[in-house]
Structure 1
Amino acid sequence: MQLAPTHLRDWFLVGLILTIAPLIVVGVSTVKQSQQRRAAAIALTGGDPSKAPAIFTRYGCSGCHTIPGIAGADGKVGPSLAELREKIYLAGSVNNSPENLVQWILSPQHFEPHSAMPVTGINEEEARHLAAYLYDQ
């Protein structure tokens, strides 16, 4: 038995839909997770992640840290800031919480007197934007 050309086309379309549909579902799920992570980062820190790239650049953070999504941020002096939201501790000894992260950015020596991270002059609002960005990644 030979299938008519329209049947072949129909089967091709069914196969194509069955192949593409899971990819669409995964893509939608990924976008939703990203939006939820961003909303949580904003709620937790009171910052705006979209303002952070300019702040990272202005204060030279990329000279010491690798920061995902920031062009040229491949520093090796300080730790990588990738997936910071998943880490238990900041600087190996401070509980990773939004307030601790903001305070660490403002005054690292308050937590770790011998920290190599300098006091940068970043203000609290800017620190909140940086924290929101890091938790959004």
Structure 2
Amino acid sequence: MRFTLSSWPIIALGTASLFLAAVVATGLVCNERRQNESIARAITGGDPARAPALIRRYGCAGCHTIPGIPGGDGQVGASLSGLRSRVYIAGVTTNTPDNLVQWIVTPQAFSPRTAMPATGITEAEARDVAAYLYAQ
């Protein structure tokens, strides 16, 4: 294709349009992420920003695939991707913020034969992890 001096304004306009579309799309994704985090904080009482360190400390990613966690590709337990849209937690209890927190702290209280161990995580820490999972 041959470009002439008169075609450069059209090319520049097209490039600027693509750049603007990318900026708008990025802004929408960031806005959605902030909104999801805000809702997750409100319903769990936790802080999703503290969760990645807790997830590493308690070894959650060794068993679960967890979005946004480097090395979070465990295959023993269920993937935790899209957790907020599920009806049940581990197939045994309804998916509510309080149930999720209690499941993280003492899964055997819901299912004595579960393979998920009691990790020693505190309720406050579990609220942070729950907030992170609901924010994804």
TM-score exceeds 0.5: yes
The match for 2:32 is 33
- Identity between Structure 1 and Structure 2 (%): 49
The code of the aligned residue for 1:98 comes to P
The code of the aligned residue for 1:70 comes to I
Q: Distance in 2 between matches of 1:11 and 1:63?
A: 52
Normalised to the residue count of structure 1, the TM-score between the two structures is: 0.88
Q: Distance in 1 between matches of 2:25 and 2:73?
A: 30
The match for 2:97 is 98
Normalised to the residue count of structure 2, the TM-score between the two structures is: 0.88
Q: CA deviation at 1:24?
A: 2.1
- Secondary structure at the residue paired with 2:76? coil
RMSD: 1.6
The code of the aligned residue for 1:59 comes to Y
Q: CA deviation at 1:20?
A: 2.6
- Secondary structure at the residue paired with 2:61? helix
- Secondary structure at the residue paired with 1:19? helix
Q: CA deviation at 1:102?
A: 0.3
Q: Distance in 1 between matches of 2:92 and 2:79?
A: 16
Q: Which runs of 4+ in 1 moved over 4 A?
A: none
The match for 2:52 is 53
Q: Distance in 2 between matches of 1:103 and 1:133?
A: 15
Show CA shifts across 1:53-81 (max 9, x none).
11111111122111122222222211111
Q: Distance in 2 between matches of 1:8 and 1:58?
A: 58
- Secondary structure at the residue paired with 1:56? helix
The code of the aligned residue for 2:74 comes to G
The match for 2:70 is 71
Q: Distance in 2 between matches of 1:10 and 1:89?
A: 56
Q: Distance in 1 between matches of 2:112 and 2:80?
A: 21
The match for 1:24 is 23
The code of the aligned residue for 1:46 comes to G
Q: Distance in 2 between matches of 1:92 and 1:29?
A: 33
Q: Which of structures 1 and 2 has the bigger CA Rg? A: 1
The code of the aligned residue for 1:106 comes to V
Gap regions ≥5 residues in structure 2: none
- Secondary structure at the residue paired with 2:112? coil
Q: CA deviation at 1:121?
A: 1.0
Q: Distance in 1 between matches of 2:15 and 2:67?
A: 35
